[in-house]
């Protein structure tokens, strides 16, 4: 049995065949819906169900039960159980382009994070929204995603790349890269961005290289009189993982009411700062999250746990924005 889906904002409509996801049917009918991972892990395909209901073969990681109860669905996993009317967030973004990128810098930030600098020789300059990412193609059609860590600056851009043991790109290919080598990239991609339309206190939570898109967003707010108060909670295992720690502490001179709280889950005895899981530290400090805009970047496990915990702490589902660093392979 097939169901009809109507996109309220554009009045586009399409049929979803039995067993098909809303996203797959939309793409088959040339209706554009935002998406990234297509695996239920990133949350980019979130839509609001204005009418009708959906079911999931397996409840997706990037959707909380609270969001589902409020009528949100992940189009890449949702199977309609009736005709649907959906609304979709729209955002104007630069058109992604596939092009060569030249490595101009490659150096270690810490034991497992590389600072990678690229130049796009075919572009005099290019624009992206802080929070977006690029895809690097590995030569067999597969790609890996990395978030821009620096503000648009001509045709140059920076990345923070965590080395994954056994990782095809981050361990094998990256180890062989030299300045002057070329990569095949598509840039810019993704809908993660700063939502300046709401003036709310900012709560940024990053684990690992999830710092990268947060850094880019916060750099865009530096010296801005409209910048709301900012709290950055940074989760890591040990002190050795806190790359750029000194630079981040200096942001307090350029961001309004900036609080920086590193939280270590496996600190040694000499660590005098916060310990435990980063989302627990947030809840210990901020009893009521109902007035915050919340940005979560990094490990999908942290994001899923933090989202649930923060909704329980009063956060509004419409003001939680996530950038999950899902793996592009599963081994
Ligand atoms: C939108 C987006 C933005 C991202 N931005 C960044 C970024 O700025 N910096 C960054 O370092 N990463 C980022 N990532 C994550 C990065 O794309 C993955 O870690 C990537 O899969 C690593 O590729 P690889 O070829 O080295 O490993 P693969 O060969 O793909 O994987 C090797 C093995 O490691 C596992 N694995 C892969 N990634 C991880 C991980 N992160 N943690 C634990 N296990 C893993 C795989 O499941 C597999 O078993 C982002 C991901 C997304 C979706
Ligand atoms: S595209 Fe649906 S969750 Fe990533």
Q: Which residues, including other chains, have CB under 8 Å from residue 133's CB and lie 6 or more apart? A: 145, 146, 147, 148, 188, 189, 190, 192, 213
**pLDDT tens digits along 223-241:** 999 899 999 999 999 999 9
**Nearest alpha carbon to residue 318 among 90, 147, 93, 89:** 89
pLDDT at 157: 95
- 144 CB under 6 A from ligand 1? yes
pLDDT at 184: 97
**145 alpha carbon – ligand 1 mean position (Å):** 7
pLDDT at 86: 97
pLDDT at 185: 97
- 262 CB under 6 A from ligand 2? no
Closest-CA residue, ligand 1 atom 45, reads 327
- 41 CB under 6 A from ligand 2? yes
pLDDT at 37: 84
- What Cα–Cα distance (Å) separates residue 85 from each residue in 7, 27, 44, 68, 235? 6, 17, 18, 15, 39
Of the ligands numbered here, which is closest to the C-alpha atom of 162?
1
Residue of 117, 130, 170 to test ligand 1 pocket, by largest number of atoms within 8 Å of CB = 170
pLDDT at 325: 87
pLDDT at 58: 93
pTM listed for this prediction: 0.91
Q: Look at phi and psi of residue 65 and say left if phi exceeds 0, alpha if psi is from -120 to 50, else beta.
A: alpha
Longest CA pairwise span in the chain (Å): 63
Instruction: Using 70 as the pLDDT threshold, list the residues of the chain that sit under it.
Output: 329-331
Q: Which ligand 2 atom minimizes the distance to the CA of 326?
A: 4
Q: Which ligand 2 atom minimizes the distance to the CA of 36?
A: 1
- 76 CB under 6 A from ligand 2? yes
Q: Which ligand 1 atom minimizes the distance to the CA of 159?
A: 8
**pLDDT tens digits along 2-15:** 999 999 989 899 99
């Amino acid at each position: 049995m097939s169901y009809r889906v109507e996109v309220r904002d554009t009045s586009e409509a399409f049929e979803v065949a039995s067993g098909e996801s809303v996203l797959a049917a939309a793409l088959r009918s040339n209706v554009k819906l935002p998406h990234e991972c297509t695996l239920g892990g990133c949350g980019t395909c979130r839509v609001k169900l204005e009418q009708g209901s959906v079911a999931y073969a397996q409840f997706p990681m990037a959707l909380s039960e609270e969001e589902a109860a409020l009528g949100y669905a992940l189009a890449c996993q949702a199977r309609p159980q009736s005709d649907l009317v959906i609304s979709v967030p729209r955002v104007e973004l630069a058109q992604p382009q596939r092009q060569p990128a030249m490595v101009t810098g490659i150096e270690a930030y810490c034991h497992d994070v590389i600072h990678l600098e690229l130049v796009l020789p075919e572009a005099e300059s290019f624009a992206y929204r802080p929070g977006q990412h690029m895809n690097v193609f590995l030569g067999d059609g597969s790609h890996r995603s990395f978030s821009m860590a620096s503000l648009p600056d001509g045709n140059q851009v920076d990345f923070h790349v965590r080395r994954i043991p056994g990782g095809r790109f981050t361990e094998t290919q990256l180890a062989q890269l030299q300045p002057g080598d070329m990569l095949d990239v598509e840039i810019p991609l993704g809908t993660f961005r700063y939502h300046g339309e709401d003036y709310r206190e900012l709560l940024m939570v990053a684990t690992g290289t999830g710092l990268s898109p947060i850094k880019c967003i916060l750099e865009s707010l530096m010296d801005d009189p409209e910048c709301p108060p900012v709290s950055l909670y940074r989760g890591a295992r040990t002190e050795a993982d806190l790359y750029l720690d000194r630079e981040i502490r200096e942001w307090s001179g350029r961001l309004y009411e900036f609080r920086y709280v590193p939280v270590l889950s496996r600190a040694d005895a000499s660590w005098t700062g916060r310990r435990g899981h980063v989302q627990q530290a947030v809840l210990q400090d901020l009893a009521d999250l109902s007035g915050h805009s919340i940005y979560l970047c990094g490990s999908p496990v942290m994001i899923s746990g933090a989202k649930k915990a923060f909704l329980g702490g009063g956060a509004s589902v419409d003001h939680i924005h996530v950038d999950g660093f899902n793996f592009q392979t599963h081994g």
